[in-house]
Amino acid sequence: MDDVKSIEIIKYKNGNMNREEDIVVVEYPFTIFLNEKEFVTLLCSPKSLDYLAVGFLASEGIINSKEDIHKIVVDKEKGYGYVYTKDKSLILDKLYGKRIITSGCGKGSLFYNVVDAFKSKKIDSKIFINPNEIINLIKDFNVKSEVFRQTGGVHSCALCNSDRIILFEEDIGRHNALDKIVGMCLIEDIDLHDKIILTSGRISSEIVIKIAKIKIPVIVSRSAPTSLAIDIARELNITLIGFARGEKMNIYSN
């Protein structure tokens, strides 16, 4: 299944209406089953679905490492992803007492408690990055999203070191794009202590909590952060940079 599809539209311009072909992004419901039980449905782009399933579960604290996973099976035609864990009782314990909130932006439900973030261990990282390196990374980031250039309908997320983009994903949801990166890192055993996340979307508290759980020390966005995201970043020693556009950026923490 492709990330985009062609449809016929009527385009209005300068008083004239014409029939044209347009490229739109595909929105795809993806249901994750955890140990054969339906767990959550994410509205996403139909790519890197195995990484999305694992990344979602890891970001929400359901699994901690790939050693928790026994098997992953993705049925792309049905839109199903099956994740089997080695210790089923451990998963049930982690879900007990969690509350569910709606986060929107192409994502279904989110399992987390904001208070938990402030109890997390602060991130201890020796990474140093200068403004010119951020500017160069954002320039590379901006030209990488082919689907965005075609449709204008997706968010992008990348994992970087100080001089290059290592992983890149895009999705209709900014949370999903990050979860795909998280899942890939977990499955491929990528060390994250000196890495940077780039995102095209707003930095909310959920996004900062996700990167805090996997100990990434820096997050940069072309867009704005929320006040709670800034509070959590400062509390957990995460460098948060917003409005990274052209030669400008706002540094909100560290």
DSSP string for residues in 189-242: T---TT-EEEESS-B-HHHHHHHHHTT--EEEESSPBPHHHHHHHHHHT-EEEE
Known binding residue 81? Answer is: no
- 145 lies in the same domain as 89: no
Please tell me whether 243 is known to bind a ligand: yes
Q: What distance lies between CA 87 and its chain's CA centroid?
A: 26
pLDDT tens column, 129-183: 999 999 999 999 999 988 888 888 899 999 999 999 999 999 999 999 999 999 9
Distance between CA atoms of residues 204 and 214, nearest Å: 16
Residue 68: which domain range? Answer: 28-119
**Would you state the pLDDT for residue 96?**
52
| pLDDT over 70, % of the chain | 88
Q: Check 44, 105, 157, 185 and give the catalytic one.
A: 105
Does residue 102 belong to any structural domain of this protein? yes
Confidence of residue 247 (pLDDT cuts 50, 70, 90): very high
> Using an 8 Å Cβ cutoff, are 172 and 43 in contact?
yes
Is 185 known to be catalytic?
no
How big is the CA angle at 121 (ends 200 and 35), to the nearest 5 degrees?
Answer: 70
Asked whether residue 60 is domain-assigned, the answer is: yes
Residues 6+ apart with CB under 8 A from 97: none
- Out of 119, 152, 182, a domain closes at 119
Is residue 104 pLDDT above 90, yes or no?
A: no
Answer yes or no: pTM beyond 0.85.
yes
Residue 147's domain is classified under what CATH number? 3.40.140.10
The answer to whether residue 5 sits within a structural domain is: no
Q: 115 and 140 share a domain?
A: no
Altogether, the residues listed in the chain come to a count of 254
Q: Is residue 15 situated within a structural domain? A: no
- Do the annotations mark residue 11 as ligand-binding? no
Number of independent structural domains in the chain: 2
pLDDT of residue 117: 52
**Is 5 known to sit in a ligand binding site?**
no
Q: 8 forms bridges with which residues in the sheet?
A: 21
Q: How far apart are CA 170 and CA 54, in angstroms?
A: 16
The reported pLDDT for the residue numbered 100 is: 41
Question: Binding residue per annotation — 183?
Answer: no
